[in-house]
Amino acid sequence: MTNQFHGIIGYTITPFSADGEQLDLPALGQSIDRLIAGGVHAIAPLGSTGEGAYLSDSEWQQVAQYSLERIGKRVPSIVSVSDLTTAGAVRRARFAQQHGADAVMVLPAAYWKLSEAEIVQHYRAIGAAIDLPIMLYNNPATSGTDMPVELILRIVREVDNVTMVKESTGDIQRMHKLQLLGEGQVPFYNGCNPLALEAFVAGATGWCTAAANLIPELNLRLYQAVQAGELEQAKALFYRQLPLLDFILKGGLPATIKAGLEMTGLPVGEPRRPVFGLDAEGRDKLKTLLDALRQG
């Protein structure tokens, strides 16, 4: 079941009206069509890039339902269902399943620091509520929770449908450890853009990235080069896109991707407050980076 998720997994943004108050679903549809036309192997709505944490429940449901209908099984879908409460995450996971998601992604978002027992129970409850594969997502920078590899593998062992791991700490040693301690049996995915080359070489099954909104062909060619064992070619492709990958990460995913989409002909509004859009200096830098990649 899990091997349908491989390669380039593109994140969607959540477009808003100019004032940031309303959803702009038609623009979301266009962004999904663009990702699919760009050749992504799967689509992941409502993650960090999709500002899932900034949506009301009713908006979250509208975006999830609309995204799944628009994707229409053209590529596999993996919906991020993270929520501060277990009940909220269970509700979202069930909603995603009812509306045709192929898998869900779960980041243990926390206000209070969670114990290992609490984290395990969170995944266990979500796993029991749905029949879909779950991608466990470790991203301490956004969630405040860092799951060591031993804990991740314990959850994989104890919750049957947790079958994939997305690692976004930016520490390549985590992936080596997942590969070794998981005995190569646990598919892992890279969520840290500047680590794309090392992650694939370390055995990552896929790369979950918002960059596919702007440079899908370069992302794909990197993956294909690694798959073909052409490491020199992979290195050259990686270094070409690294300045943009770095910029996207440092500038904040929603702000940089939304600005980049507007520059490439798809206005999608700004991030929702309190997050600012890209400032004038950032926009100039992004435009320079995108122009350089287009000319190359």
pLDDT, tens digit, for every residue of 87-117? 999 999 999 999 999 999 999 988 899 999 9
| Model confidence at 4: pLDDT above 70 | yes
pLDDT, tens digit, for every residue of 221-276?
999 999 999 999 999 999 999 999 999 999 999 999 999 999 999 999 999 999 99
Q: What is the mean pLDDT of residues 152-179?
A: 97
Residue 2 clears pLDDT 50, i.e. is over it: no
pLDDT, tens digit, for every residue of 40-87?
Answer: 999 999 999 999 999 999 999 999 999 999 999 999 999 999 999 999
pTM value?
0.96
As a whole number, mean pLDDT of residues 173-184 equals 96
Q: What is the mean pLDDT of the chain?
A: 96
Tell whether the model's pLDDT for residue 1 goes beyond 70.
no
pLDDT of residue 13: 98
CA angle, 282 then 286 then 283, to 5°: 40
Question: How many Å apart are CA 105 and CA 92, to the nearest integer?
Answer: 11
Task: Give the residue-averaged pLDDT of 141-162.
Answer: 94
pLDDT > 90? residue 130: yes
Q: What number is the average pLDDT over the span 165-183?
A: 96
Sign of the Cα torsion 12, 82, 156, 69 reads negative
Pairing of strands 7-11, 188-190: unpaired
**Cα angle for residues 62, 65, 67 (degrees, 5° grid):** 100
Tokens of 291: 């122009």
Contact indicator for 189, 206 with CB cutoff of 8 Å: yes
* Cis before 274 (ω within 30): yes
Which residue shows structure tokens 């969607």? 12
- Mean pLDDT in residue range 4-26: 94
Confidence category of residue 32, pLDDT binned at 50, 70, 90: very high
Q: Do 210 and 168 contact (CB within 8 A), yes or no? A: no
Tokens of 145: 């929770």
Residue 295 has pLDDT above 80, yes or no: no
Confidence at residue 111, expressed as pLDDT on a 0 to 100 scale: 87
Share of the chain above pLDDT 70, in %: 99
d(CA 289, CA 293): 6
Least Cα distance to 142 among 106, 165, 110, 103 occurs for: 110
